[in-house]
């Protein structure tokens, strides 16, 4: 309990800069929770495997594995243009799949720009708190020397706390932003492999029908 009280006292000592930093921290945590849920529910590889799509025996668009996925799952969304309109040319369905893939990438990356902004803004706010605290300390030096030693140490402590909090918020946002960015890249690779396999099967089936007398 004493450690928690000491921590709260240190945060209060950080001055007004702690409040915008707290807002940035809340935004970062909210985005991480939201993206974690979205990736866990709507971007998991069918079967729960984390292997690349190329290593998995994906069924056809109407396969049971895809049908068991949630309605908004990325693999089900991508399979729609590949399964609909069987009489449509393959190039048309391929173009539709590319459009949906771009939409999926945009939907899955919501909030990434906020995390990226926090990575830059949090240290700058911490630096601003450092400058304000140091200015407060320097103002306590009078013409006859040091006027208030306690005030000087308080200003230095304020600057250090603001810098520390800003760095913690920035590091948290940086690590989570890099993780989700890498996860999105891997997801898009899996979707591309899945679509290429389905299109290759359609081309093979189309050529087989053309060769049938």
Percent of the chain with pLDDT over 70: 66
Distance in angstroms (rounded) separating the CA atoms of residues 23 and 38? 23
CB atoms within 10 A of CB 20: 15
Q: At what angle do helices 90-108 and 74-83 cross, to 10 degrees?
A: 160
User: How high is the pLDDT of residue 156?
Assistant: 61
- Say yes or no to pLDDT of 6 above 60: no
Give the residue with greater pLDDT, 110 vs 141. 110
Q: Name which of 111, 107, 82 is nearest 188 in CA terms.
A: 107
Binning pLDDT at 50, 70 and 90, where does residue 187 land? very high
Query: Which has the closest alpha carbon to 40: 193, 183, 189, 191?
Result: 183
Q: Are 21 and 168 in contact (CB under 8 A)?
A: no
Contact 200, 121 (CB under 8 A): no
Any idea how long the chain is? 213
- CA 86/CA 81 separation, integer angstroms: 9
Q: Are 102 and 81 in contact (CB under 8 A)?
A: no
pLDDT value at position 128?
85
pLDDT at residue 16 tops 70: yes
At 141 the pLDDT is 57
Task: For residues 97 and 103, give the distance between their C-alpha atoms in angstroms, rounded to a whole number.
Answer: 10
pLDDT of residue 169: 94
Q: Is 208 helix (H, G, I), strand (E, B) or coil?
A: helix
Number of H helices, E strands in the chain: 7, 2
Q: How far apart are CA 19 and CA 124, in angstroms?
A: 14
- Sorted by where each begins, the domain ranges of the chain are 2-211
Pairwise CA distance, residues 121 & 209, whole Å: 60
User: Picking from 48-62, 137-151, 181-195, which range would have the lowest pLDDT averaged per residue?
Assistant: 48-62
Q: Is the pLDDT of residue 58 over 50?
A: no
Q: How many angstroms separate the first and last alpha carbons of the chain?
A: 84
| Report for 52-66, 110-124, 191-205: range of highest mean pLDDT | 110-124
């Amino acid at each position: 309990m004493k450690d928690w009280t000491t921590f709260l006292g240190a945060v209060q000592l950080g001055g007004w800069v702690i409040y915008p930093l707290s807002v940035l921290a809340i935004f970062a945590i909210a985005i991480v929770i939201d993206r974690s849920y979205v990736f866990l529910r709507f971007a998991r590889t069918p079967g729960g495997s984390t292997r690349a799509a190329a290593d998995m025996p994906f069924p056809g668009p109407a396969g049971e594995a895809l049908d068991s996925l949630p309605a908004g799952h990325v693999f089900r969304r991508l399979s729609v243009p590949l399964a609909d309109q069987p009489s449509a040319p393959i190039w048309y369905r391929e173009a539709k799949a590319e459009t949906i893939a771009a939409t999926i990438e945009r939907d899955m990356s919501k909030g990434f720009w906020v995390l990226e902004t926090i990575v830059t803004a949090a240290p700058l706010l911490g630096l601003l708190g450092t400058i304000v605290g140091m200015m407060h300390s320097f103002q306590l030096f009078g013409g006859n020397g040091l006027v208030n030693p306690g005030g000087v140490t308080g200003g230095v402590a304020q600057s250090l706390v603001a810098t520390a909090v800003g760095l913690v918020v920035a590091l948290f946002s940086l690590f989570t932003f890099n993780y989700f960015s890498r996860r999105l890249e891997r997801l898009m690779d899996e979707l591309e492999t899945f679509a290429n396999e389905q299109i290759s099967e359609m081309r093979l089936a189309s050529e087989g029908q053309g060769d049938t007398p």
